[in-house]
Amino acid sequence: MKGEEMEETDRERAAEWARDLLERSDWVILDTETTGTSPHDEIVQIALVGSDGRVLYDSLVKPTRPIPPGATAIHGICDADVRHAPSFPEVYSRVREILSGKRIIIYNAQFDLRLIHQTLAKHNLLPYGLDSDQADCAMLVYSAWVGERWLDGGYRWQKLENADHSAVGDCLATLALIKKMAKG
């Protein structure tokens, strides 16, 4: 198959994925904000938005260590904001309850799932009900839909359009991209 034909097929697959989602209601969008990107970082905010755009859950999370200034510069969350916030074990049971039986859509799923698992490990909790096979990465689908190629032939990752670096805002931006892809 020629490159252009393959790109068009991938674009149509991405649009079909988005249309299929919008015809169903058994999925939620998840996003987190974190103390950083390293193996030692953890979640400071988590949000879940339903397929209809309703905010199902939004909570700041008190991390086990201070939030570095570089992270605050990105998402605007500082130590004072999370001082009285619940710990991750306190929010995780509610998150698991909402996610039960749902497909999870995450923009950059690899990152968010890694940070969730890192945060769970810091609290000696097991990741019940939150497996990578339960999640779809909207970033990878959107990258195929856009069709920009790296030199190695893979699709170039795309930034989340209209992201505001709040967990709810980024969930809603992901929903907007799903609707955009569905329109074709």
Note the pLDDT of residue 79. 97
The pLDDT tens digits for 99-109 are 999 999 999 99
Domain boundaries, position 43: 3-183
Residue 105, amino acid:
I
Cα–Cα distance for residue pair 42/120, rounded to 1 Å: 9
Dihedral sign of CA atoms 77, 83, 88, 91 in order: negative
Note the pLDDT of residue 7. 63
The CATH number given to whatever domain includes residue 170 is: 3.30.420.10
| DSSP line for 15-59 | HHHHHHHHT--SEEEEEEEES-SSTT--EEEEEEEETTS-EEEEE
Cα–Cα distance for residue pair 30/58, rounded to 1 Å: 10
Pair of tokens at residue 93 = 């049971």
**Beta strands at 103-106 and 135-137: parallel, antiparallel or unpaired:** parallel
| 3-class secondary-structure state, position 1 | coil
The number of folded domains in the chain is 1
Note the pLDDT of residue 2. 42
The pLDDT tens digits for 119-156 are 999 999 877 656 667 899 999 999 999 998 877 778 99
